[in-house]
């Protein structure tokens, strides 16, 4: 073969080869797409957060999640004997709602205790009062608290008391603020230690 004919043959084979690869890729992608369509029409993969709860508020009144319909909720799981994380988170929540002014009145900040043993309604009442009139404290039986925490995927456990501290113990617990919409559906969460009141207010303003 003369060099220019050989070059032409090589060029033709290159075109055929590229066309073949293109076809193979298209077939592969079409197969992949049909697979992913099967996956998206199946059961939702995202785990549900939140749900119904039956508890008691800081005035001793039995309440359920349904009592908060029509209001947004900022739910925080903590406990009144917490030395720092819980008070800081509750302060952030209340300050953010103060910053929102009128819009802030659409939101009820809620503390659900993870320490029902010590957090009686009376104990919760004096604690939440320290954060102003907005905060609702919720307690319940150990089983009711466990069910609510499970629904929100909150971890909590009694920490071992230090020797000599007797009955004094701390609770280990997740520190997350959950925003629940007026229909009672989980909307989003905030990692309370990574956000200050200004930032929480800014993000809430875009939602409420």
Name, in order, each residue with C-beta under 8 angstroms of 78's C-beta and a sequence gap of 6 or more: 85, 86, 89, 90, 111, 112, 113, 114, 173, 175
**Which of residues 144 and 174 has its CB atom nearest to Ni ion in the complex?**
174
Does residue number 137 form part of the binding site for Ni ion (CB under 5 A)? Answer: no
- Minimal distance in Å, beta carbon 85 to Ni ion? 4
**Which of residues 78 and 116 has its CB atom nearest to Ni ion in the complex?**
78
Does residue number 111 form part of the binding site for Ni ion (CB under 5 A)? Answer: no
**Which of residues 139 and 184 has its CB atom nearest to Ni ion in the complex?**
139
- Minimal distance in Å, beta carbon 78 to Ni ion? 4
**Which of residues 131 and 181 has its CB atom nearest to Ni ion in the complex?**
131
Q: Which of 55, 56, 86, 112 binds Ni ion (CB under 5 A)?
A: 86
CA 153 to chain centre: 8
DSSP notation for 126-166: HHHHTT-S-PEEEE--HHHHHHHHHHTT--EEEPPPPTT-T
Does residue number 176 form part of the binding site for Ni ion (CB under 5 A)? Answer: no
- Minimal distance in Å, beta carbon 89 to Ni ion? 7
Does residue number 85 form part of the binding site for Ni ion (CB under 5 A)? Answer: yes
- Distance from C-alpha of 198 to C-alpha of 129, rounded to nearest angstrom: 22
Residue of 120, 167, 165 whose CA lies nearest to 140 = 120
Whether the Cβ atoms of residue 150 and residue 47 lie closer than 8 Å to each other: no
Strand pairing category for 72-78 and 107-113? parallel
- Minimal distance in Å, beta carbon 145 to Ni ion? 14
Does residue number 82 form part of the binding site for Ni ion (CB under 5 A)? Answer: yes
Interface segment toward Ni ion; rule CB under 5 A; list 17-25, 38-46, 83-91, 200-208: 83-91
- Minimal distance in Å, beta carbon 205 to Ni ion? 27
Residue 176: how many CA atoms within 13 Å on its side-chain side? 16
Q: Which of 50, 78, 104, 137 binds Ni ion (CB under 5 A)?
A: 78
Residues binding Ni ion (CB under 5 A): 78, 82, 85-86
């Amino acid at each position: 073969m003369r060099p220019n004919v050989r070059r032409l043959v090589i060029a033709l084979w290159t075109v055929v080869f590229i066309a073949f690869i293109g076809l193979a890729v298209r077939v592969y992608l079409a197969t992949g797409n049909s697979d992913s369509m099967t996956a998206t029409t199946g059961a939702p993969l995202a785990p549900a957060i939140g749900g119904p709860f039956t508890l008691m508020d800081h005035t001793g009144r039995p309440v359920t999640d349904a009592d908060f319909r029509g209001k947004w909720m900022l739910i925080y799981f903590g406990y009144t004997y917490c030395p720092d994380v819980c008070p800081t988170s509750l302060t952030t929540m209340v300050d953010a709602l103060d910053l929102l002014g009128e819009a802030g009145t659409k939101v009820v900040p809620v503390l659900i205790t993870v320490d029902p043993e010590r957090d009686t309604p009376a104990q919760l009442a004096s604690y939440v009062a320290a954060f102003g009139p907005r905060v609702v404290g919720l307690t319940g039986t150990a089983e009711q608290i466990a069910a609510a925490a499970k629904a929100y995927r909150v971890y909590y456990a009694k920490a071992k008391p230090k020797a000599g501290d007797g009955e004094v113990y701390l609770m280990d617990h997740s520190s997350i603020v959950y925003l629940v919409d007026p229909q009672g559906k989980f909307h989003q969460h905030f990692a309370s230690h990574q956000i200050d009141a200004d930032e929480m207010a800014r993000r809430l303003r875009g939602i409420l």
